[in-house]
Amino acid sequence: MLWNFVFLQYHMFEIEKKVIEEENQGKPTLLKGDIPAGAKKLYLESYGCQMNFSDSEIVASIMQENGYYTTQNLYESDVIMINTCAIRENAEQKVRKRLTEFKSLKKKRPSLIVGVLGCMAERLKEKFLEEEKLVDLVVGPDAYRSLPDLVGEVNSGQKAMNVLLSLEETYADISPVRLGGNGITAFISIMRGCDNMCSFCVVPFTRGRERSRNPETILEEAKQLLADGYKEITLLGQNVDSYLWYGGGAKKEFKHLTDEEKSASVNFADLLDMVANINPDLRIRYTTSNPRDMTDEVLMVMAKHENICKYIHLPIQSGNSAVLERMNRGYTREEYLVRIAAIKKYMPDCAISTDIICGFCGETEEEHADTKSLMLEVGFDYAYMFNYSERPKTLAERKYSDDIPEELKTKRLEEVIAIQRDLSLKSNQKDLGKTFKVLVEGTSKRNENELFGRNSQNKVIVFPKEHFKPGDYALVKVHDCNSATLLGTAIL
C-alpha cells in the first residue's frame, strides 16, 4: 500500500527529507514561474501519500490548460482545492478544520469556489454538499478531467460532484505540472487503484480497482524528466509489484491472458529494467510493495542496475500470522521472512523499511510480542508505526470489534517505537566510516552551511556545503550519526 508516507500520527524515524515532506503536507503546492496576466488563480493543498501529491500535479495540469494557475497566496485565489487523505480519522479531522477556515473566507468573498478532491471526497461524496455544506464541489480521484466543467457549474450557481470510479483511467496522456518540487526528484505514477482488500484499509473503496499504465507513456515521462534536469524518479503505485500491462486497462491475472497477450505483456520487473536502461545517471526508486507479490525477478533486476536504489519498503503490519490473517494480508510471518531472506540474498546492502499497526482488532499481548520479535529478527532500517484506526466500510469495521483500548494501543506503539529507534541507530552506526554516493537535494533545515541528500539506501546524509549544490552527486564519508541521519564529509 502506498500510505507508508501518510500524513500525521505516524511516528517516523526516517530520513531528513521525509521529515521535510511531512512538514510540507497541507501547505500550498506552487507552480514555478510567472502567472500570466488575467489568469485565474488556483490555491491547491495536498494531504496524504505520495500518490495524492502526484495527483495534485495532474490536477494542476488540467486546470492550467483551462486558464487556472496555482498560487501560494490563499487570499488572491479564485478557486481553492484541497486534495485529501482518508486513511485515518485524524487526517480527516484536519481536513474538516481546514475546510471550516475556507468557509469563513468564503463568507467574505462569495465568489470564491472551494472544492474537496481525492480519497475523502470519494468516501463522503454528497455528505460534503448536503450535510456539512463546507464545499462547492466534490471530485474523486478518477474524475479530475471533469474539474473544469464542474467549476463552470459552480460558477453558474450550482453545486457539483463527480465521484465515479473508473476501470481504465490512468491519466497517462496528461503531462503533470511539477508543483513546488526541488527540480531534482519527481514521482511517476505507474498504476492506480488497489485489488488487495486488506481488512483495515479504505483505499480500494476510495481509489477503485487496480489498473496499470501503458509502459511507453511511463518511459516517455521519465525521459522528459531527465531532459528537464531531474536526477531521480520514484515509480508510484498502491502495489507496484502487481503492475501488469498487456494492452488492456483493468488488471488481469497473468494466467488469464491469451498467449498473444502474455508474449506482449510487461510486468513490474520488465518495467523496472526498461526505466533503468534510459540512462545510468537517472536514479530509480519505487513504492510500495506487497510481500505476497514481490518476486525474485524484481530483486534480480534491482541487483543488476547500479542506478536502481537499494532500498525496499515492505510493509509487514503485524509479526503474527493470526493477526495477518485477520488483516487479510495474504501472507504469513514465515512467508514474509522468506521475502526478507531473498532481498538479503540478492542485495546484502539493501535497506528495508516497513509499516506496523499497533492494536489491531483482537490483538493479544502474545501477538504484539510477535511483532516486536520480528522487528528484531529482520532489523529494519526504519519504520512507520501507528495505532490502528478503524475506517468506515472496511471489512474490519464490519467483521471485527475495535476492542483494544486506546491507552493500550499507545503503550504498544511506544514499545515498537523504542525498538525501532534502537534498530535505526544500530543500522546507521554500521555505516560509520563508509563512503556513499549522495544525490544532493537541498540545504539542511538546521544549518544553511550544510547540504543534505540521500544515498542508495534512502538514508539522509548531511555534510558541509563546500562547492556542492543541489543536483550534484557527492562522495561522502560518514563520521557520525543519530537514529535518523548520517553525518559526513565530502571527499569528492
Q: What is the mean pLDDT of residues 133-160?
A: 94
Question: Cell numbers of 258, please?
Answer: 491469451
Average of per-residue pLDDT values in the chain: 90
Closest CA to 106 of 141, 82, 142, 140: 82
- Render pLDDT for 89-117 as a digit per residue (tens, 0 to 9): 888 888 989 999 998 898 899 999 999 99
Q: Could you give all domains of the chain from N- to C-terminal order, each with its CATH number? A: 3-162 (3.40.50.12160), 191-308 (3.30.750.210), 310-430 (3.30.750.200), 435-490 (2.40.50.140)
Confidence of residue 7 (pLDDT cuts 50, 70, 90): very low
Q: What is the mean pLDDT of residues 430-440?
A: 98
Does 174 score more than 80 pLDDT? yes
- Render pLDDT for 212-264 as a digit per residue (tens, 0 to 9): 999 999 999 999 999 999 999 999 999 999 999 987 656 667 777 787 777 78
- Render pLDDT for 455-483 as a digit per residue (tens, 0 to 9): 999 999 999 999 999 999 999 999 999 99
CA pair distance 384, 11, nearest whole angstrom: 6
**The predicted structure's pLDDT at residue 355:** 97
CA pair distance 19, 311, nearest whole angstrom: 18
120 Cβ contact list (under 8 Å, min separation 6): 84, 85, 86, 92, 95, 206
Q: What is the mean pLDDT of residues 430-452?
A: 96
**The predicted structure's pLDDT at residue 349:** 97
Read off the pTM: 0.89
SS3 (DSSP) at 34: coil
From the CB of residue 472, how many other CB atoms can be counted at a distance below 10 Å? 15
CB-CB contact of 281 with 305 (8 Å): no
DSSP per-residue codes, 45-60: EE-SSHHHHHHHHHHH
Does 18 score more than 50 pLDDT? no
CB-CB contact of 191 with 207 (8 Å): no
Q: For residue 121, what is the enclosing H or E element?
A: helix 119-124
CA pair distance 471, 371, nearest whole angstrom: 39
Closest CA to 376 of 321, 335, 319: 319
- Render pLDDT for 256-296 as a digit per residue (tens, 0 to 9): 778 777 778 999 999 999 999 999 999 999 999 999 999 99
DSSP letter, residue 35: P
- Render pLDDT for 63-78 as a digit per residue (tens, 0 to 9): 999 999 999 899 999 9
The dihedral over CA atoms of 408, 413, 414, 418, expressed in degrees to the nearest 10, equals: 150
Closest CA to 389 of 417, 364, 410: 410
Q: What is the mean pLDDT of residues 135-163?
A: 95
Show the CA angle centred on residue 491, arms to residues 488 and 492, nearest 5°.
Answer: 130
Task: Tell me the residue type at 334.
Answer: E
Closest CA to 352 of 385, 316, 383, 380: 380
Does 365 score more than 50 pLDDT? yes
